[in-house]
Structures are given as C-alpha cells and as structure tokens.
Amino acid sequence: MCKIQAKPFNIVIIEAYAPTADRSDEEIETFYENLDMTIKQVKSSDILILMGDFNAKVGTTTISKSIGREGLGETNERGERFIQYCEKHELSIVNTLFIQPKRRLYTWKSPGDLFRNQIDYIAIKSRFKNAIVDCQTSP
C-alpha cells in the first residue's frame, strides 16, 4: 500500500497479487480477508486505487455496476469473486470501461501464445471513476 498526500484528496494505491488458479478456495478467501484488513486502513475520503494480478477473468458481461462491458473473454468463478469484492467496497474496474483493441486488453499469454487473458485489473472507488479518461495495457 502506498499513501500519497495530495489535495483535495489523498491517494492510496494498493497493489495485490492473488493466488493462482491451482490454489485452494481457502487461500483465495485468506487473500481477500488480508486485502480487507488493508482496505480498512484507508479513510473513506481518500481516493483508493486497487490494482494487480487477480488471476480472475471478469469478462464482457455487465453483471454489476462495478464492471463495464469492455473486458476480455468470459467471466470465471474467480472473476465473479473479484466482482463481488469490488461491489462490496464500491470499486469500479476501470480497464473494463473503455473500448480498446484486444491487444490493449490482455495481460497474460500462455506458453506458445495459444491463449490470451485479461487477469490484471485496476479498480478505483466508484465515486472517482469519472476522473479516469483511459485505461489500457501496453503489450
């Protein structure tokens, strides 16, 4: 977590790395519990930016107010868990809000470049999402 003193609001950036798909559901829950403890340290008036590798696919289907229509692929179980987490903390996943070519969306390539997925995300407190004018991946 990095706290930046700014005006009119302080900025808090939290970088996270979720357990990979081969890890147990208990490890995922422990990850989100630890993330909760970190977020509790953030004042409600601060601009909170949560970013990192969540090893989740949120997809293109808008199933909540926390996600846009411009993601990549289909939602998986870990993606649903991440979306629920963002809803709980009133976060918007900003790299699903902007129309981008697919090369500006994927953040992971399989060995041999057979599959490309979007598993890294940037989320911001929903009340500040209009301050974001673009969000894309640099290949």
Q: Give the residue numbers spanning the domain of 32.
A: 2-131
Look at phi and psi of residue 90 and say left if phi exceeds 0, alpha if psi is from -120 to 50, else beta: left
Considering the domain boundaries, does residue 77 fall inside one?
A: yes
Considering the domain boundaries, does residue 38 fall inside one?
A: yes
CATH of the domain at 100: 3.60.10.10
Lowest mean pLDDT among 56-70, 72-86, 111-125: 56-70
Considering the domain boundaries, does residue 114 fall inside one?
A: yes
Considering the domain boundaries, does residue 88 fall inside one?
A: yes
Considering the domain boundaries, does residue 94 fall inside one?
A: yes
Look at phi and psi of residue 52 and say left if phi exceeds 0, alpha if psi is from -120 to 50, else beta: left
Considering the domain boundaries, does residue 136 fall inside one?
A: no
Q: How confident is the model at residue 132 (pLDDT cuts 50, 70, 90)?
A: very high
pTM: 0.92
How far apart are the C-alpha atoms of 15 and 128, rounded to whole Å?
A: 18
Considering the domain boundaries, does residue 117 fall inside one?
A: yes
Closest CA to 126 of 93, 96, 80: 93
Mean of pLDDT values over 40-66: 91
Note the pLDDT of residue 138: 81
Note the pLDDT of residue 90: 96
Q: How confident is the model at residue 95 (pLDDT cuts 50, 70, 90)?
A: very high
Average pLDDT taken over every residue of the chain: 93
Pairing of strands 2-4, 11-17: antiparallel
Closest CA to 32 of 78, 73, 93, 1: 78
Note the pLDDT of residue 88: 95
Considering the domain boundaries, does residue 139 fall inside one?
A: no
Q: How confident is the model at residue 97 (pLDDT cuts 50, 70, 90)?
A: very high
Mean of pLDDT values over 116-136: 94
CA angle 107, 31, 41 (to 5 degrees): 100
Domain count, the chain: 1
Mean of pLDDT values over 77-103: 94
